Chains A and B, each alone.
Chain A
């Protein structure tokens, strides 16, 4: 029993090895943060643009949006990353691990965000449109100033959940050798012959995502308002 605990501590909480490999993990942390920020910015912007475009109800455009959303919601993000990473070079489009991960996860987040925001747009009462249009606001102005701000606020909780889920998917970048936390930690673990770097990686995830979860909860309460 004592012996087992000692072995566990040596394997996973080895201070010497931790100190040695921490810089390598830290490099991964920056990559993870950078990809995550890029994914959130791109994914949410694209999702919002698609949801707004869908509100205009052009038949062909909406069919394309729905197809895009359904496909990207159905595919495992890992598959999207692999397809982009390995397929694009055939089109003579160079694709770095960073670009493949960023682009894939952005598209996935955009698909989910579009769906969430579209539901929000539909949930804004018809009377809001009517009131705005009756004062002479055009369709676009009504959408932009009256409907979207309400749709966005209504959908903060599901959106925060989705943002967290998709950004954690940056770990999938390890498959195409993106030097993010998981890939740094696992290569460090095999080089060191000791799994302590994986513990460091887990700690790094907690350090990044616990604040995000807390921030998400704060945003949820901040934006929840009585109608």
Chain B
């Protein structure tokens, strides 16, 4: 073992003792999770288990009740944290795309570059075009969202996150709203992103993608992490009966 391998890399994202309730409903009940550079962490769990809330706490779109959220070495729960600066390091991709319908694909991608990073229009469009090229949509920069297929819209959503140069990208069921024939194009972009070394947390039901691309699979239930490990272990030989039950239900449902 070399020295470099012996020193564990500093996580890009670390959650410690994360709690979140909505009224009396405990949605996150003590989550500890560290995501290392270049790692793809794949999160599965039944509906309502807190997966979306977990992702939304990572950039404080949702305010955790307690716990630490450490992004790139800094605890972003600390008072005085510049959240708008932190959020640019954390790309977010949504199930329903959430593209701005009144802007072109390029407009969607460049808005934050102009208004947050303060680039002039020319520089922003240069970066925006590069991001659209990365998701294979160079020819669609002038299209409005309603003229794009779901798969194309989601790829614009990914480009919007990538354009800001994030350290990590969070995906919340990025293909769940897509027709089956459009899922592949989005997963292909995500696979390329992984190959290029992006750090990613992916909430999804696409088990085939997890087997091929995930470094680690996390199974959540009732606001807790029940079990985690390499995809082969979680899908092939889970320790917990609950994991096994969920995985077998999932693989039946999705062939």
Interface residues of A (CB under 8 A from B): 125, 127-128, 130-138, 141, 145-146, 149-150, 153, 225-227
7 contacts across the A-B interface (CB closer than 8 A): A130-B92, A131-B99, A136-B85, A137-B115, A150-B102, A225-B102, A225-B146
**Complex contacts, A138 vs chain B, CB 8 Å:** 84
How would residues 86 to 124 of chain B score, 1 for a CB under 8 Å from any chain A CB and 0 otherwise? 011011101010111110000000011001110000000
- Do residues A135 and B111 form an inter-chain contact, with CB atoms below 8 A? yes
Q: Which 10 A-B residue pairs are closest in the complex by CB-CB distance?
A: A135-B112, A131-B98, A127-B98, A134-B92, A136-B116, A136-B84, A136-B88, A136-B87, A226-B146, A149-B102
**One of A131, A137, A145, A149 near B94 (C-beta < 8 A):** A131
Q: How far is the CA of A133 from the CA of B111 in the complex (A)?
A: 12
Output the nearest chain A residue to B96 by Cβ-Cβ distance.
A127
- Do residues B100 and A134 form an inter-chain contact, with CB atoms below 8 A? no
Q: How far is the CA of A132 from the CA of B111 in the complex (A)?
A: 9
**Complex contacts, A135 vs chain B, CB 8 Å:** 87-88, 92, 111-112, 116, 160-161, 164
- Do residues A150 and B101 form an inter-chain contact, with CB atoms below 8 A? yes
**Complex contacts, A145 vs chain B, CB 8 Å:** 111, 115
Q: How far is the CA of A137 from the CA of B88 in the complex (A)?
A: 9
**One of A130, A134, A141 near B115 (C-beta < 8 A):** A141
- Within the complex, the shortest CB–CB distance from A147 to chain B, in Å, comes to 10
**Complex contacts, A137 vs chain B, CB 8 Å:** 84, 111-112, 115-116
| B61 contacts partner chain A, Cβ-Cβ < 8 Å | yes
Q: How far is the CA of A134 from the CA of B62 in the complex (A)?
A: 11
- Do residues A128 and B98 form an inter-chain contact, with CB atoms below 8 A? yes
**Complex contacts, A134 vs chain B, CB 8 Å:** 59, 61, 87, 90-92, 161
Number of A-B contacts (CB under 8 A): 72
Q: Which of B61, B111, B161 has the most CB of A within 10 A?
A: B111
**Complex contacts, A225 vs chain B, CB 8 Å:** 101-102, 144, 146
Q: How far is the CA of A131 from the CA of B95 in the complex (A)?
A: 11
- Do residues B116 and A133 form an inter-chain contact, with CB atoms below 8 A? no
- Within the complex, the shortest CB–CB distance from A18 to chain B, in Å, comes to 49
**Complex contacts, A133 vs chain B, CB 8 Å:** 61, 87
* A227/B164 contact (C-beta < 8 A), A127-B98, A130-B61, A131-B92 known: no
- Within the complex, the shortest CB–CB distance from A39 to chain B, in Å, comes to 27
Q: How far is the CA of A133 from the CA of B146 in the complex (A)?
A: 22
**One of B90, B96, B100, B161 near A146 (C-beta < 8 A):** B100
Q: Which of B91, B112, B117 has the most CB of A within 10 A?
A: B112
- Do residues B94 and A127 form an inter-chain contact, with CB atoms below 8 A? yes
Q: How far is the CA of A131 from the CA of B92 in the complex (A)?
A: 8
- Do residues B101 and A227 form an inter-chain contact, with CB atoms below 8 A? yes
**Complex contacts, A136 vs chain B, CB 8 Å:** 84-85, 87-88, 112, 116-117, 164
Output the nearest chain B residue to A147 by Cβ-Cβ distance.
B100
Given A127-B94, A135-B92, A141-B115, 7 more A-B residue pairs with CB atoms under 8 Å apart are A127-B96, A133-B87, A134-B92, A135-B88, A136-B85, A137-B84, A145-B111
**Complex contacts, B101 vs chain A, CB 8 Å:** 150, 225, 227
Q: How far is the CA of A84 from the CA of B164 in the complex (A)?
A: 53
**Complex contacts, A128 vs chain B, CB 8 Å:** 98, 100
**Complex contacts, B85 vs chain A, CB 8 Å:** 136
**Complex contacts, A130 vs chain B, CB 8 Å:** 56, 61, 92, 94, 98
